Chain A
């Protein structure tokens, strides 16, 4: 029994040294400076540890698995998008249901890009085909259009025993991968895509984690470093913590509409080389949470930088259809790579990610997605295929859905008109909401907001007075968490504090989705504006 605890202390010490390398979103490169909220978390954990010995009167240190002897990497994982503020939101919802009086009648969860939860309707064609695949008896039903039936038959024929209940190949159903490849070719103006390089996944998150997992090796100063933008989507920091890889932060330029600057990439890389082995560069375009859309020139610069510095590129392109601002256009990394000529297109290693969860479909619950790998070493590819086989296969309904996304109704098919109408309405609404959000926020003194060029979020900067900052500290919270928590309690609006994504020290932000229906979004924006004014007054 004793050995379970005997080596605990040295173990914790070993991992503490790693702790400084796994810098959180707020910390500067190399762990030189640490964020207040991370410090608070640590303090909280320490407090908890003390109380732990007396849970229920039973000595809980009797447990085999405790906070002190669980996987230390898991403890370092943080995922703000579903963090404490969302837990509180769920609690408040429960309280409302139980009849507890609040200054609002419903909680609006603007914390996550969950389109259907915000009332967006599914695309009819997609759901018709899924119903047909689920219950093929409906193929006899003449209520369903012929193109939906045709798609369903094609998908079912590619499934074992013609059932979406059979496992698929681990890499994904072959005909879906072929359709994905053709979609990419069309998107990229004819640049060829090989279905063998397509891996279907359980949402994009799954593929991103898998790729990062492949890339991580070495110990100490030799440990793999992964460059991610700040602000970032916290899946990246969470996965890196889980894998014990080194997070290498590069900052987006808020003053230039969150654009990416190669000089900053270089600064960050050089600093990181002092303490780890940077091998990967992650880009999110269009940006999450920052909503910028990268120019073609910028992408070219990034690719040149990756080649020069021998970095594996990971392009998170799940918002590729979500581009709203005039003059902005989505350029895929792959297309730009191939337009740069064979010197680049035959050498730079890259993975690009896509998903069924965003764009006009917003089908998050199906967990559909794919990645395309380019220039991957064949031996590594074999290892990748082996690795994904352990989890058997991505959910087949999600694979079917992805097939429809990459192979939607064509102009001569009966569902085309409705499909286009539904698709256009969703995207046009989003564009309007993007504009609306920027306009309203920028009218509020103390809130400044870059244009939402793409994706589904706004990430405005908020001015918090010293008094508010002090008050937050007093409460043991990061200032923007304090702000968001107060907003939640007073208005029932759930946002994610900027600290969950990372931000330059001394600046504060929040992330809000632009997904609520226009009328509701207006209400939300006005409530936030009023709250901000009230908050500013209270702490001036």
Chain B
């Protein structure tokens, strides 16, 4: 955006002619577009003087960032909530925010054991309270003992508390049938997002045609596109196959890669499994193919596996990239660079607010690893309560411990309710003409395709909106249901979708699905 450099004699005409802004640009913008010298010339005109920081003089990569999950539609939803609370009449009594995977906000209860331990860690005087079970107390003592001054209020090591990383490593070993895991390769993070952005940041370099390109699925979780925009990296889209239940196809990866090589330097391949927003669960075979592809094409693999416990469909199973990698033998397991992400926010716990997470790095160059450790040290440490929670997730009550039964009961109830809701969502939405919905094999979302008539598309275009944004906005205004338009995640041209969480309690979900159904029918009728 900047058009000149300080000290050169840009005059107003030059700036105007070079300005990418639509004509006529407001005078304030012209001024701020200019550099120090021009600003100085106008120094006396106090009131008309531009701010130091304006939309034209701010970081241009930040402006390119988009994050639909909390975008304009959510802002409108918050506004509507405020209007409702002020007594303004609406055709609905409450706003249902099905835009985000926020389990507790949808009424899911926290796992008792986790919260008991967190309370004990917060206020250790409770360790003398006989109402807390012994296993909760022993977990709390172990966590506190590994905190500086036995307090969660002290900074931890930047990579995360040692004992928590050890527990994470043992969890991964158990999960992967004994494939070894080194706690030194575990980095605790502030939610998975933090780990993902940090890894992308490490990977980005070069300029122009050598600029790092990162392959992401379309549809994708928009954290990826947002982070790439901010880092000025090149986003390389590969499309998931909606007709085949959003599966991933190597020939499509190859196509995307070959095209991208003409204008950037593709170095990383991101996979979300189970898929967000698309809910597919990758087969073992597919993962193997992806790993082979990454090895052949020399790509750094980033496996976003935060939904690893959220698998519902019969015949589907979660396979970790790491396990498959190691089962493919040393030719792959010694060479392919991989990072896998996990979080406390999803699965059966849904503890988003604590911002807990970890990443495991595999085959990372030792010098790069030292740089990673240095980089994370600048932010001191991930939130310690989130680290404590992560520890409980990877080291839950064991058979024979007093909290075991209740823990398993709560965990099973949550996961089976989710499985039921996944089925329900698919069933109901597929009864609607003009909506088609793949099975929600895993994760927490449905991403149905919606038919929008040419007339509706035209009206949306006239309003300067994406057709599916127009659709979702209208649904929000008429029913109070807040969804995210498919365009926020990316979709094949000419197709339209929305993302909806399956998290509301079953009864509420039924109502919600029926409202969506009625809305769609009304909308279709209105625009035929």
Which residues of A does B touch, CB under 8 Å?
1, 3-4, 6-7, 11, 14, 48, 52, 55, 58, 60, 62-67, 69-72, 74-75, 77-79, 82-83, 90, 112, 114-120, 122, 127-128, 130-132, 134-135, 138, 141, 143, 159-161, 163-170, 202-203, 205-206, 209, 213-222, 235, 238-239, 242, 273, 276-280, 310-312, 343, 347, 349, 361-367, 375-377, 379-380, 383, 386-387, 389-398
Given A166-B104, A217-B59, also A70-B203 (CB < 8 A): yes
Cross-chain pairs A/B with CB under 8 angstroms, 23 sampled: A55-B365, A66-B365, A66-B367, A67-B365, A67-B367, A71-B203, A71-B204, A82-B377, A119-B149, A135-B115, A138-B126, A170-B70, A205-B379, A217-B2, A222-B6, A310-B40, A380-B54, A383-B62, A383-B63, A386-B65, A390-B226, A395-B355, A396-B354
Given A366-B153, A386-B65, A387-B65, also A167-B206 (CB < 8 A): no
Contacts of B234 in A (CB 8 A): none
Q: Is the CB of B371 within 8 A of A75?
A: yes
Given A62-B335, A365-B155, A395-B355, also A11-B206 (CB < 8 A): yes
Contacts of A361 in B (CB 8 A): 153
Residue B60, interface by CB 8 Å = yes
Contact of B67 among A217, A279, A390 (CB under 8 A): A390
Q: Is the CB of A221 within 8 A of B210?
A: no
Chain A residue nearest to B47 in the complex (CB)? A347
Given A7-B210, A72-B205, also A365-B67 (CB < 8 A): no
> CA separation between A235 and B7, bound complex, in Å?
31
Q: Is the CB of A118 within 8 A of B190?
A: no
Query: Among the listed stretches B116-124, B399-407, B426-434, B439-447, which one makes contact with chain A, having 4 or more residues with CB under 8 Å of it?
Result: B116-124
Q: Is the CB of B368 within 8 A of A131?
A: no
Q: Is the CB of B354 within 8 A of A165?
A: yes
Residue B219, interface by CB 8 Å = no
Query: Among the listed stretches B106-114, B277-285, B319-327, which one makes contact with chain A, having 4 or more residues with CB under 8 Å of it?
Result: B106-114
Instruction: Report the minimal beta-carbon distance from B151 to chain A, rounded to whole angstroms.
Output: 4
Contacts of B355 in A (CB 8 A): 202, 392-396
Residue B53, interface by CB 8 Å = yes
| Size bracket, chain B contacts | 35 or more
Q: Mark B374-404, 1 if CB is under 8 A from A, else 0.
A: 1101111111111000000000000000000
> CA separation between A75 and B71, bound complex, in Å?
34
Residue B358, interface by CB 8 Å = no
> CA separation between A310 and B335, bound complex, in Å?
52
Residue B352, interface by CB 8 Å = yes
Contacts of B385 in A (CB 8 A): 134, 365-366, 395, 397-398
Q: Is the CB of A203 within 8 A of B380?
A: yes
> CA separation between A122 and B122, bound complex, in Å?
9
Q: Is the CB of A395 within 8 A of B267?
A: no
Contact of B367 among A52, A206, A221 (CB under 8 A): A52
Q: Mark B233-257, 1 if CB is under 8 A from A, else 0.
A: 0000000000000000000000000
The 8 closest A-B pairs by CB, nearest first: A160-B105, A117-B148, A365-B384, A396-B353, A131-B123, A135-B119, A116-B151, A163-B104
Contacts of A127 in B (CB 8 A): 122-123
Contact of A167 among B147, B230, B298, B353 (CB under 8 A): B353
Which residues of B does A touch, CB under 8 Å?
1-2, 4-7, 35-36, 39-40, 43, 46, 49, 51-55, 57-60, 62-63, 65-67, 69-71, 78, 100, 102-108, 110, 115-116, 118-120, 122-123, 126, 129, 131, 147-149, 151-158, 190-191, 193-194, 197, 201-207, 209-210, 223, 226-227, 230, 261, 265, 267-268, 298-300, 334-335, 337, 349-355, 363-368, 371, 374-375, 377-386
Contacts of B155 in A (CB 8 A): 112, 114, 117, 364-365
Q: Is the CB of B108 within 8 A of A11?
A: no
> CA separation between A217 and B51, bound complex, in Å?
15
> CA separation between A65 and B370, bound complex, in Å?
13
Interface-central residue, A114, A239, A392, by most chain B CB under 10 Å: A392
> CA separation between A414 and B383, bound complex, in Å?
30
Q: Is the CB of B115 within 8 A of A55?
A: no
> CA separation between A395 and B223, bound complex, in Å?
18
> CA separation between A377 and B65, bound complex, in Å?
18
Contacts of B226 in A (CB 8 A): 390
> CA separation between A67 and B364, bound complex, in Å?
11
Known: A122-B151, A167-B100; 6 extra A-B contacts, CB below 8 A, are A11-B206, A58-B334, A65-B337, A202-B379, A312-B53, A392-B355
Contacts of A239 in B (CB 8 A): 378
Q: Is the CB of B52 within 8 A of A4?
A: no
